[in-house]
Structure 1
């Protein structure tokens, strides 16, 4: 029998999606499953985006440019300008989701066996993208005891080797909800300039900053023109996960020209989804004001209820819509599967994401889960009650 590639065997499963078969089995048993495992907002997509597709009736659904339509990229540049982020339309490549933007970035600035430093826990698919690119993740551990704050810059410098090509952050963070301050961004800017590295920032949750805080983009640092690469997406901002439209943004012309070759190889991003995403840029600010208020309420509800459970420790997110909870268990993978297979409260159970998959350090995060607070407050209260009851009887 032909053999599977080493890369394929090394490719990690998604901690977010690998339990889906167990959830589907729970459905067949008549159970209600509260999905805390995945960042699929229940917020309605802006009607203006949906209408743009409805009224568009082409005779031929044609390719667009490999870098995305010029009209759309110009509107994206205008969006950034309103955020005090000065970029031009030709600093932008439209991609098939933020995932493709990350793959293009890895392919453009890193070779096989190069290294990227990432504060962990981090978005689980960074492990997958690095494996696909033959790149080694070098983790800097942040801790729940410090609310996942950025580790001291000295910790980054200890890890830099001749193979180090970049530092990658998610801001605000998935899975922790940590929001980097302007001062922290400036410290990272100093270190990448000192060591001639790239600073890659996944900023797809830019709009989701709470408690009156303000998101600060790496592209607001003028001194980073040759170093900064931003990953972005419409998925969370406009509740358009299924559109699969993102972009990579850099004022480094060589990076963009290189990424364009990867974009040409996959031809073009989806045409109708670009039309919807371009229209979404006209979404009024009132939409975001309402969404932020709703997510702040959900976060406060979730954290309050989790803190009532004995033995549970939880980080306090300042952005995005996730948190990491540390449970009085040994193996959250087994616990998450048990919740779906063997446990319910009056026919209801929960699906969570085991947090070990959000680390690259073996054995770390085994007693943690990631919770996405994308459900309404009533459902969140029910879900935490189910978790509380489960922990009363669960044995590792």
Structure 2
């Protein structure tokens, strides 16, 4: 029998989606599951985006330019410019989700065996993108004790070798919700310039900053023009996860020219989704004001509720819509499966994402989970109640 590739064998499972079979089995039993495991907002997609697709008079659903619609890139550049980012349409390649932008970036700046430094915990799929690109992740651990703030720059510098090509940052962070300060972003920029590295910044949650805090983009630093690569997406900003439209942004012309070769190889991003995404840029600020108010309320409700549960420690996020909670269990993966297989309260249970999959260092974060606060008030309150009851019963049984 032909053999599967070593790369395929090394490809990690998604810690977010690997529990789906257990959830499906629970659903077949008639059990209601509150899904805290995945960042699928329940916020309505802007009508202006949906109407653009509903009312379009396309007769032939054709390819677009490999870089995406010029009109969309022009309009998107205007969006960034309103945030004081010096981005032009030729600095942008539209991609099939932020995921493809990350793959294009890794393909453009790394060779097999090269290294990328990433603060952990980090978005779990970075492990998969690195495996697909033959890249070695060099993790540097952040701590729940200070809400997963940027580790000391000296620790980054210790990891730099002649194989290091980039520092990858998620800002605001998934899974931590940490929002990097202006000083932290500047420290990374100075380090990248000192060692001639790229800074690859995943900013798909850039609109979601709370408590009056401000998001500081890597693209805002003119001295980093040739070193900065930004990844963005419409998925969370406009609650358009299914559109699968993102972008790669860089002032470095060589990076863009190289990424374009990858873009040409996959032909083009999806046409209807680009139509919706371009229209979404007309979404009024009031939409985002309402969304931020809603997420701030949900964050406070969740964090305050978790803090009242005995043995639970939680980091308070300042961005995105996730938090990391440390539970009084030895293995959160086993606990998450048990919640779906063996536990119910009033025929209801919850689904969480074990956090070990958000680390690259083995045997790290084993008692942590990522919780997405994308549910309405009543469902979040019920989820907290279920978690507290589940932890008590799990402790008795184990």
Q: TM-score, normalised by structure 2?
A: 0.99
2:213 is aligned to 213
SS at match of 2:232: strand
The question of 1:179 aligning with 2:179 is answered yes
By how many angstroms is 1:322 displaced? Answer: 0.1
**Which residue does the alignment assign to 1:14?**
14
How many angstroms does 1:58 deviate by?
A: 1.1
The separation in 1 between residues aligned to 2:167 and 2:102, in whole angstroms, is 13
Q: Distance between the aligned counterparts of 2:211 and 2:374, measured in 1?
A: 18
Alignment size in residue pairs: 396
Q: Does 1:384 align with 2:390?
A: no
Q: Secondary structure at the match of 1:357?
A: helix
Matched with 1:55 is 55
Cα deviation 1:275-296 (Å, max 9, x = unaligned): 0000000000000000000000
Unmatched tracts of structure 1, length 5 or more: none
1:323-374 deviation digits (Å, cap 9, x = unpaired)? 0000011111111011001101101000000000000000000000000000
* Residue aligning to 2:366: 366
Match of 1:78 in 2: 78
2:318 aligned with 1:324, yes or no?
no
The residue that corresponds to 2:120 in the other structure is 120
Matched residue, 1:168:
168
Q: Following superposition of structure 1 onto structure 2, how do residues 277-288 of structure 1 map, counting pairs within 5 Å?
A: 277-288=277-288
**What are the residue-to-residue correspondences of 1:287-298 with 2, within 5 Å?**
287-298=287-298
Q: CA deviation at 1:378?
A: 1.1
CA positional deviation for 1:62: 0.2
Measured in 1, the distance between the counterparts of 2:87 and 2:209 equals 22
Counterpart of 2:298 in 1: which secondary structure? helix
Other-structure match for 1:95: 95
- Tell me, in whole angstroms, the C-alpha distance in 2 between the residues paired with 1:137 and 1:268: 29
- Structure-2 separation of matches of 1:219 and 1:253: 14
Distance 2:244 2:191 in 1: 33
Q: RMSD of aligned C-alpha atoms? A: 0.5
Match of 1:5 in 2: 5
Q: Distance in 1 between matches of 2:58 and 2:89?
A: 25
Equivalent position SS for 1:139: strand
For the residues of structure 1 that align with 2:246 and 2:207, how far apart are their CA atoms?
15
CA distance in 1, matches of 2:4, 2:330: 32
1:111 alignment partner in structure 2: 111
Deviations 1:61-86 (A, max 9, x none): 00000000100000000000111111
Any idea what SS the aligned residue of 2:325 has? strand
CA distance in 2, matches of 1:354, 1:249: 31
- Cα deviation for residue 146 of structure 1 reads 1.5
Give the Å deviation of 1:57.
2.2
The CA distance in 1 between the partners of 2:158 and 2:84, in whole Å, is 33
The SS at the match of 2:21 is: helix
Match of 2:352 in 1: 352
Which SS does the other structure have where 2:371 is aligned? strand
* Separation (CA, whole Å) in 1 of partners of 2:107 and 2:221: 24
CA distance in structure 2 between the partners assigned to 1:378 and 1:155 by the alignment: 43
TM-score by length of 1: 1.00
The C-alpha deviation readout for 1:124-148, integer Å capped at 9, x for no partner, is 0000000000000000100101210
Deviations 1:151-203 (A, max 9, x none): 00000000000000000000000000000001100000000000000001000
